Amino acid sequence: MQNSPGTSAAQASAATLQPMWMKDSMAKMDRELAAKYGEPQRPRILRGLHQIAEFWRTEDGDAAVYEEFVRSNFAGEQATIDTMFNRFERLLEQLDGHMHEINHEFRQQMDLDLGPVRPYDEVFGGYDPSAHIIDDFFQNKLAFTVLLNFPLTTLDERLKNGATWSRRQWAEVRLAERFSKRIPAEVNLGVAQAEAAAGQYISEYNIWMRHLLDSQGQRLFPPKMRLLSHWNLRDEIKADYADAQNGSAKQHMIQQVMERVVTQTIPKIVVNNPSVDWNPYTNEVKPAAVADSDSAPSAENVNSSREPDTRYAMLLKTFVASKKADPYSPTAPTLIARRFDEDREIPEVRVKAMLEQVLTSPLASQVAKLIESRLGRPLEPFDIWYNGFRPGSKYTEAQLDEIIGKKYPTAEAYQKDIPNLLMKLGFSPERAQYVASNIVVDPARGSGHAMGAEMRSEKAHLRTRVEMGGMNYKGFNIAVHEMGHNVEQTFSLNDVDHTLLKGVPNTAFTEALAFVFQGHDLELLGLPAPDAKSEAEKTLNDFWATYEIAGVALVDMAVWHWMYDHPQATPKQLNEATVQISKDIWNRYYAPVFHKNDVVLLGIYSHMIDHFLYLPDYPIGHMIAHQIEEQMKKAGNIGLEFERMTKMGDVTPDLWMENATGHPVGPEALLVATQRALSHASQ
Ligand SMILES: [Zn+2]
């Protein structure tokens, strides 16, 4: 965002950090280098000098130190530029790779099924040996060497010119980008502390469901049910569709609880507290009449005074901490810009337009009608979490468990079968062998995950869980997903032409690619692929989830803008603003479909409080997944397409997607698939 609020203020404070002598020394070095290397090098010289000036501080050295540094580190001829580029590329691969290997080893005990985790294992696992690299590289001036010779770019430039850049130019851009910020350690620490405090607040925000009373004093929820806001509350709404007797009453009650959280009219005393009963409609609180926890303390000072805007105080702290980094990030001078221009690399205006395209699509009311007909009633606001679109299967989970348990009694059996599985997905025998030789299967402690390498001499790890009786269907389904990650990780590291371009544009891409594999798990077992009806259900489920989370993302975005526009706001004011924003977005996009106004549910997401404008990643992820899926269908051969797409590496999402599918990132593929799904879905 070039015009984000706060931009001019950020620039002003960055300028005041510059030493007094800088201007004169820059002019002097400009003359000197131009005389030495000739007029054609002038633009590079000026660019390098300006890029250094953005970050040079008094403690980096006086004018003499600066001038000597520039004199000896400017590469003014193609041969010296090439040498420098190649050296940095090779050594940074080694640095990233070895740091990652330390991490990989240090996490081993926590990640793998290797017996008890000791307290020191957790400390090893939490340690990040690379945490201070950027600071170190500014201190030893390697960062300045890069900034003197390679271009910092804005997202605008990458989007406008990126398609015409050579691969080498792209690699140079990514090299410089590593040093586009020089955030002081204490500012980073402040961000980490605000994040930890908000995370802690969220992680303890439980509602004891047995203690919720309806107007008849009835308890609708079972004993010992403790639900974390918002994830568990939302998932309980989903589960309650299956409860014909009390489901609807429970869903209404959870909605009421969520609204009280968003508006902060929730009594402070009921949060994470099994010693009180609460009627969320009247807000009456009483000492608990039933014991639902062995450790519940007896209730003291029972009253219904509301939570004092703590939710928004937490959010404000993350904002205040983030804002302190603004002056040190000249090419992305707000948290909003850093999220969209650097992390996502899709401009905020375009993201907003894509979300609105989904939200205003006539498909929304068509899917809504289908849901109403399946539910046999008009929609309620909590139906944004409707979960009745389910792909059917010819096989029961027990049947699948049996087939898979026989096939894969151990993790080794799965490892051995990887080349075979890849050939079923269309990889040639030679490519399948090659990829398989770069994947190591480990027994996971949890459900499973993929850990790629960061240098070409190392392998990707597939962590999967195999029970005593052999692998079950859930484990297989996850292993296939993780294998998709590993295959992407292998191509995008080992087969991309520059290691500075390793990877994919962002996590939405790697997830989308992994889901392509996962969606074909039945065929990998030699069973028939899901039929059109089953696929239609899956697509409708994706559409409805995207429709829901698109509104949530717009709330997240609007709230961050409001904070930048009101940097002095109190938690109470932020509360009022968030409630109003949630209502406005609901009224605009959902009220026409749900026929109810002023709903605040879109403000309930916990990630909004502790994740620094992360929520737009979800709907974009759904869109990307459908674009890749449609392309795979069109191409017919997953193996070849997968390799072709992933060798593109870490360029902007739009450029990657243009190369992959012929179109930039957008919701069209999802909308087309939804339209098609509607014609296959039964009432
Ligand atoms: Zn994944």
| Sign of the four-CA dihedral 395, 398, 400, 403 | negative
Distance from Cα 485 to the centre of ligand 1, integer Å: 7
Strands 206-208 and 226-228: antiparallel
Count of Cβ atoms closer than 10 Å to residue 568 Cβ: 5
Cα dist from 110 to 114, 127, 463, 544, whole Å: 8, 12, 12, 36
Q: How far is the CA of 507 from the centre of ligand 1 (A)?
A: 9
Q: Give the distance (Å) from ligand 1 centre to CA of residue 513.
A: 9
- Average pLDDT of 215-220? 95
Amino acid residing at 596: K
Instruction: Name the amino acid, one letter, at 641.
Output: E
Question: Cα(346) to centroid of ligand 1, in Å?
Answer: 21
What does DSSP assign to residue 528? P
Q: Measuring CA to CA, which residue among 449, 435, 451 is closest to residue 490?
A: 435
Q: How far apart are CA 245 and CA 204, in angstroms?
A: 31
pLDDT at 81: 98
* Average pLDDT score over the chain: 93
DSSP-derived pairing of the beta strands 226-228 and 460-464: unpaired
What is the pLDDT, as a whole number, of residue 682?
67
Per-residue b/e over 487-521, b at no fewer than 16 CB within 10 Å?
Answer: bbbbbbbbbbebbbbbbbbbebbbbbbbbbbbbbb
- What is the rounded average pLDDT of the residues 656-679? 97
391: left (phi over 0), alpha (psi -120 to 50) or beta: beta
Ligand 1 centre to CA of 268 (Å) is 37
| 125-134 CB contacts, 8 Å cutoff, 24+ apart | 128/103, 129/99, 129/102, 129/103, 130/95, 130/96, 130/99, 130/103, 132/185, 133/95, 133/99, 134/178, 134/179, 134/181, 134/182
Kindly give the distance from the C-alpha atom of residue 676 to the centroid of ligand 1, in angstroms, as a whole number.
27
> For residue 121, what pLDDT is reported?
93
User: For position 339, what pLDDT does the model report?
Assistant: 96
CA of 54 relative to ligand 1 center, distance in Å: 38
pLDDT in tens, 403-422: 999 999 999 999 999 999 99
CA of 482 to the centre of ligand 1 (A): 6
Centroid of ligand 1 to alpha carbon of 514 (angstroms): 6
Task: Calculate how far, in angstroms, residue 441's C-alpha sits from the geometric centre of ligand 1.
Answer: 16
pLDDT band at 447 (very low <50, low <70, confident <90, very high): confident
pLDDT confidence bin for 446, thresholds 50/70/90: confident
Q: Where are the beta strands (DSSP E) in 395-552?
A: 439-443, 448-451, 460-464
Mean pLDDT for the stretch of residues 486-510: 96
Q: Ligand 1 mean position to 474 CA, how many Å?
A: 14
Q: How far apart are CA 222 and CA 204, in angstroms?
A: 20
Ligand 1 center from residue 511 Cα (angstroms) = 5
Q: What does the block give as tokens for 657?
A: 């997607």
> Encoding tokens for residue 437?
């030789």
Question: Strand runs (DSSP E) across 314-443, as ranges?
Answer: 439-443
- In the chain, count H helices and then E strands: 31, 7
Distance, CA 625 to ligand 1 centroid (Å)? 12
C-alpha 520 to ligand 1 mean position (Å): 15
Q: Write out pLDDT tens, residues 567-597.
A: 999 999 999 999 999 999 999 999 999 999 9
Q: Kindly report the pTM of this predicted structure.
A: 0.90
Query: Hey, which residues does 622 pair with through a beta bridge?
Result: none
CA angle 268, 271, 272 (to 5 degrees): 145
| Order of strands across the sheet that contains 460-464 | 439-443, 460-464, 448-451
**pLDDT digit string (tens) for 127-162?**
889 989 999 999 999 999 999 999 999 999 999 999
Between the CA of 479 and the centroid of ligand 1 the distance, in Å, is 10
Q: Please, what is the end-to-end C-alpha distance for the chain in angstroms?
A: 44
Distance from C-alpha of 1 to C-alpha of 380, rounded to nearest angstrom:
37
Tell how far the Cα of 462 is from the centroid of ligand 1, in angstroms.
11
> Which pLDDT score is estimated for 126?
86
Q: How much distance in Å is there from the Cα of 137 to the middle of ligand 1?
A: 32
Share of the chain above pLDDT 90, in %: 87
Task: Report how far ligand 1's centroid is from the alpha carbon of 460 (Å).
Answer: 14
Give the H or E element holding residue 193: helix 185-203
**Cβ–Cβ < 8 Å for 217, 282:** no
Please say if the pLDDT value at position 295 is more than 80: no
User: Measuring CA to CA, which residue among 197, 88, 206, 198 is closest to residue 149?
Assistant: 88
Query: In angstroms, what is the span from residue 464 Cα to ligand 1's centroid?
Result: 12
Q: How far is the CA of 409 from the centre of ligand 1 (A)?
A: 24
pLDDT level of residue 230 (50, 70, 90 thresholds): very high
